Amino acid sequence: MRFALSTAILAVSAVTAFGGAALAAGPLCVKPGVPACMDDSLTFVSADRMTACQTDVKDYVDRTMAYLKCLADENVATGQELTRNVDRFNCRLSGGKNCR
């Protein structure tokens, strides 16, 4: 058992080091950019500009929360994929024929 687990960890490390298929697909979650109005000194001299920027910031918050949820979901899916692949590797290592 110790050999199988050590070998699986080595295999996972190799996939990570050399880029597995999931890494090649690219990120599914896109980090939103900060609204430009936040760094514009003119934003804070008029009520209209502040109100418009406030709307942009609220949208930024919503998009960032969706991004964080996406990252969390991607993390869970990646952990599940890792577990399935290590289990399949260990099954094949122990001579299994129908390893999935």
Please give the Cα distance from 32 to 11 (Å, whole number).
34
**Over the Cα atoms of the chain, what is R_g?**
23
Confidence of residue 14 (pLDDT cuts 50, 70, 90): very low
- Summarize pLDDT for 89-98 with one digit per residue, the tens: 999 999 998 8
Helix/strand/coil percent split, the chain, to 5 = 75, 0, 25
Supply the pLDDT for residue 100: 84
- What does pTM read for this prediction? 0.64
- Summarize pLDDT for 52-72 with one digit per residue, the tens: 999 999 999 999 999 999 999
Supply the pLDDT for residue 16: 46
